[in-house]
Amino acid sequence: MLITQSAGKFLKRKSSLQIGDDQIDLSIPVVMGIVNVTPDSFYDGGKMEDEANMLKAVETMIADGVTIVDVGAVSTRPGADSVSTKEELARLLPAVQAIRKEFPDVALSVDTFRSWVAVRVIDEVGAIIVNDISGGTLDSKMFETVGRLQVPYILSHIKGTPQTMQDDPYYDDIIKDISSYFAEKVKRLTKLGVQDVVIDPGFGFGKTLDHNYELLNRLDSFKVFQLPVMAGLSRKSMIWQALDIEAKDALNGTSVANTMALLGGADILRVHDVKEAVEAVKIFCEIKASIK
């Protein structure tokens, strides 16, 4: 297939991420903990807006084995209201500054689709990972910015915007379509000097329930890119809708989905519940070690 033949030429298989002077080893899958400093988070209901609550949550994540803490200040759930750059920074900067001061050794990621936000955060706290749910579609300067800043970039797939992405999404072939999307964007990022790219198929971002499970079942299709893969499945509607429960009750389903993602080649699990995800990684590693 043309896509698979050409995609592997972009970069050699990456088994680490370079964040400033620090390196994250991805030879064993790692866990990214979610910190949403928004008033309308679907999971924690805005509890992280309080600095003391947020720092306590990060402390627990670190104790539970988190490798990366991902901080976001704009809700990207389906139909979420848009937020200005000014408001995003007003929420985000105090949070990342507090985390960096209290936990200077933890790797930080910022969940933003705005290049200017990434610049401001890096100016304040140093090198971070930029986690862009839009794959550069919502800010034309994002790719050149991360190339100039020389920071890792999480390239996510999305169809539409958070406001429109669930309006009857359609694919001719979801794996081929998303692979074409990644092929074109990885090529652009490489030409702009981005050294560390992680691909995220974007579970829930412009996908039906069936689309999401086909993606999960065929996650190993993206190994052809020779790049780390992130899976963000935590308590998403694809889990609680399938189980006919609410997001607050979807931990067990999340653990099952995370395990399937690990079996499909995921290198990073982005989660709300760090302890359970770390345990899933440990079990996966035991299974992998048993294969002779």
Neighbours of 161 (CB within 10 A): 18
Please state the length of the chain: 292
Classify residue 215: in a domain, yes or no.
Answer: yes
Classify residue 195: in a domain, yes or no.
Answer: yes
Positions in the chain whose pLDDT score sits under 70: 1-13, 40-47, 77-80, 160-168, 292
Per-residue three-class SS string for 62-100 = HHHCCCEEEEECCCCCCCCCCCCHHHHHHHHHHHHHHHH
Classify residue 15: in a domain, yes or no.
Answer: no
pTM equals 0.91
Compute the distance between CA of residue 124 and CA of residue 191 in angstroms, rounded to an integer: 27
Residue 100, both tokens: 């960096």
Classify residue 19: in a domain, yes or no.
Answer: no
**DSSP per residue over 121-168, as a string?**
HHHHH---EEEETTTTSS-TTHHHHHHHHT--EEEE--SS-TTTTTSS
User: What pLDDT, on the 0 to 100 scale, is given for residue 5?
Assistant: 35
User: What pLDDT, on the 0 to 100 scale, is given for residue 36?
Assistant: 94
Classify residue 159: in a domain, yes or no.
Answer: yes
Q: What are the beta bridge partners of residue 229?
A: 199
> In CATH, what number is assigned to the domain containing residue 200?
3.20.20.20
The CA R_g of the chain, rounded to the nearest whole Å, is 18
Cα 147 to chain centroid distance, Å, stands at: 19
Beta strand pairing call for 16-19 and 197-200:
unpaired
Compute the distance between CA of residue 201 and CA of residue 152 in angstroms, rounded to an integer: 17
User: What pLDDT, on the 0 to 100 scale, is given for residue 41?
Assistant: 56
Cα 206 to chain centroid distance, Å, stands at: 15
The total number of structural domains that make up the chain: 1
Query: Which of 267, 185, 132, 202 has its CA nearest to residue 10?
Result: 185
Classify residue 180: in a domain, yes or no.
Answer: yes
**Helices 51-64 and 274-290: angle between axes, nearest 10 degrees:** 20
User: What pLDDT, on the 0 to 100 scale, is given for residue 159?
Assistant: 86
User: What pLDDT, on the 0 to 100 scale, is given for residue 4?
Assistant: 35
State the catalytic residue, choosing from 86, 223, 270, 288.
270
Is 13 considered catalytic here?
A: no
Classify residue 18: in a domain, yes or no.
Answer: no
Compute the distance between CA of residue 193 and CA of residue 100 in angstroms, rounded to an integer: 27
Q: Are 184 and 212 in contact (CB under 8 A)?
A: no
N-terminal to C-terminal alpha carbon distance within the chain: 31
Compute the distance between CA of residue 171 and CA of residue 204 in angstroms, rounded to an integer: 14
Name the helix (H) or strand (E) containing 259. Answer: helix 251-263
User: What pLDDT, on the 0 to 100 scale, is given for residue 81?
Assistant: 72
Is 14 considered catalytic here?
A: no
User: What pLDDT, on the 0 to 100 scale, is given for residue 39?
Assistant: 80
Owner of token pair 């070690």: 289
Residue 126, both tokens: 């140093």
Beta strand pairing call for 68-72 and 107-111:
parallel
State the catalytic residue, choosing from 100, 159, 185, 236.
236
Which domain covers residue 279, as residue numbers?
25-290
Classify residue 223: in a domain, yes or no.
Answer: yes
Q: Are 127 and 20 in contact (CB under 8 A)?
A: yes
